[in-house]
Amino acid sequence: MYLPQQRPHHDIAALFAAAQPDFLRVSAPMVRYSKLEFRRLVRKNGVQLAFTPMMISESINNSEKARQNEFTTDPDDQPLIAQFAAKDSTEFVTSAQLIYPYVDGIDLNCGCPQSWAMSKGYGCGLLRQPERVREVVQQVRRTLPSDFSVSVKMRLLAGSEADSVERTIDLARQLEYAGVTFLTLHGRTPAQKHSKDTLNISAMEEVRKSLQIPLIVNGNVESWSDACELHAQTGAAGVMAARGLLANPALFNSDYPTATTTPLACVEQWLDIAAAARDNLLFQCFHHHLTFMWSSEMKRSLRVQFNSLSTKKQVVEFLGEHYNVRSSGPAPEPATYTDCTYTHFTPPRHARHIAAEAEELAWSSRSDGKFFTEFKAHQISNPAGVDLELGGLFGAEE
């Protein structure tokens, strides 16, 4: 069922204040994965602020198909931040105007370290042009109401350790002065790989101390204890998780403070959400999330069998037969979705945007993506579950 959007915006700054002295529990922007149905799951399990997947402004601004494919929401999907990869203020402001009625804030991705993104001027590529990042924030602040959240997700800037911290603080302060509501900081430079020993916690703490606005920190959050420890070490107003939430969507659920794997009840919630979503949740996304959540519980032979399943019905029967995992009750009513018509704003179309619809193919929800492909390969070749480093993640910076 589709309903028009009729809700007021949340005050995101007040959300941080309400969380004190604790920290705000935040679900990261994850291409392919932090879609509406997954946001429904993590909101049931302690997440207080959720991000959409990173979306490409050029595609969203110029393709109705991209808008309908890449963004869905519902009346309970709040508070919500939409994240965009944009090259300049024109692209970002256009995206902000389009998405404004349906979310509580907009976030500029300055943290994606993948080479394709940086080569196009997205993600960490923008960190090479701090004046452009500042201009983007200033322009969107001049365009939209002052109570609408504007934020930036970034990494530590490149340089020696002292220079990196100094440059990061300088940019963070410029963005604070330009009017951002909050910042999110991943504690690695663009060149640093995902491994526990590269996370610069002291740098995140120094950046936090330099600001008057809230700072969300992320990196290496794979359990509730990791989140609490990172908060204690940095004093940040919020803690964001990405990989950790994929492996355990109940990571922020205080009912499971010592859980190292996804609780059975959480897996059953996912089955219920999928049943209610009907055809709105593609099989591939449904199956991928269960692979992240539950494959560590499977012996290798069952994991291979699970990977060969091709329908939701087969998956539900497999989990019931082998693990006694079942939906919690009778078939749920169809889920409600907001009818995002975008009739309130017509984006300008420029000649250089004609190829935008081709661009969206790179972000097709039907493609597996690098992270999942590597994850599945490691699960097959590494049944003992040894922690192996995987490649770039979903356009998020975890």
The 3-class secondary structure across the chain, one letter per residue, is CEECCCCCCCCHHHHHHHHCCCCEEEECCCCCCCCHHHHHHHHCCCCCEEECCCEEHHHHHHCHHHHHHHCCCCCCCCCEEEEEECCCHHHHHHHHHHHHHHCCEEEEEECCCCHHHHHCCCHHHHHHCHHHHHHHHHHHHHHCCCCCEEEEEEECCCCCHHHHHHHHHHHHHHHHHHCCCEEEEECCCCCCCCCHHHCCHHHHHHHHHHCCCCEEEECCCCCHHHHHHHHHHHCCCEEEECHHHHHCCCCCCCCCCCCCCCCHHHHHHHHHHHHHHHHHCCHHHHHHHHHHHHHHHCCHHHHHHHHCCCCHHHHHHHHHHHHCCCCCCCCCCCCCEECCCCCCCCCCCCHHHCCHHHHHHHHCCCCCCHHHHHHHHHHHHCCCCCCCCCCCCCCCCC
Quote the CA–CA distance of 195 and 193 in Å, as a whole number: 6
**What pLDDT does residue 127 have?**
87
pLDDT band at 111 (very low <50, low <70, confident <90, very high): confident
Quote the CA–CA distance of 375 and 243 in Å, as a whole number: 11
User: At residue 117, does pLDDT exceed 90?
Assistant: no
User: At residue 316, does pLDDT exceed 90?
Assistant: yes
* pLDDT digits 0-9 by tens, 218-270: 999 999 999 999 999 999 999 999 999 999 999 999 899 888 889 999 999 99
pLDDT band at 372 (very low <50, low <70, confident <90, very high): low
* pLDDT digits 0-9 by tens, 324-333: 988 877 778 8
**What pLDDT does residue 347 have?**
85
User: At residue 202, does pLDDT exceed 50?
Assistant: yes
Q: For residue 316, what are the contacts with CB-CB under 8 A and spacing of at least 6?
A: 271, 326, 327
Q: Report helix angle 300-307 to 312-323, nearest 10.
A: 160
Q: How many residues are recorded in the chain?
A: 398
User: At residue 355, does pLDDT exceed 70?
Assistant: no
Nearest to 275 by CA among 329, 344, 341: 329
Q: Which amino acid, one-letter code, is at 220?
A: N
Q: Is 112 a catalytic residue?
A: yes
**What pLDDT does residue 391 have?**
46
| pTM score | 0.89
Nearest to 169 by CA among 149, 179, 148, 183: 183
Question: Taking residues 83-102, what's their average pLDDT?
Answer: 94
pLDDT band at 396 (very low <50, low <70, confident <90, very high): very low
* pLDDT digits 0-9 by tens, 65-89: 999 999 999 999 999 999 999 989 9
Report percent pLDDT > 90 for the chain.
67
Torsion on CA atoms 8, 337, 266, 317, rounded to nearest 10: 180
Q: Which residue has the tokens 């995987």?
A: 390
Quote the CA–CA distance of 284 and 351 in Å, as a whole number: 34
Which domains does the chain show, CATH number per domain?
12-247 (3.20.20.70), 264-336+363-381 (no CATH)
User: At residue 162, does pLDDT exceed 90?
Assistant: no
Q: For residue 2, what are the contacts with CB-CB under 8 A and spacing of at least 6?
A: 336, 337, 338, 339
| Angle formed at CA 228 by CA 225 and CA 233, multiple of 5 degrees | 120
Quote the CA–CA distance of 283 and 267 in Å, as a whole number: 16
Nearest to 31 by CA among 298, 394, 330, 397: 394
Nearest to 167 by CA among 178, 175, 116: 175
Q: Which amino acid, one-letter code, is at 9?
A: H
Catalytic-labelled residue, pool 110, 112, 124, 285:
112
CB 333 within 8 A of CB 276: yes
Quote the CA–CA distance of 251 and 224 in Å, as a whole number: 6
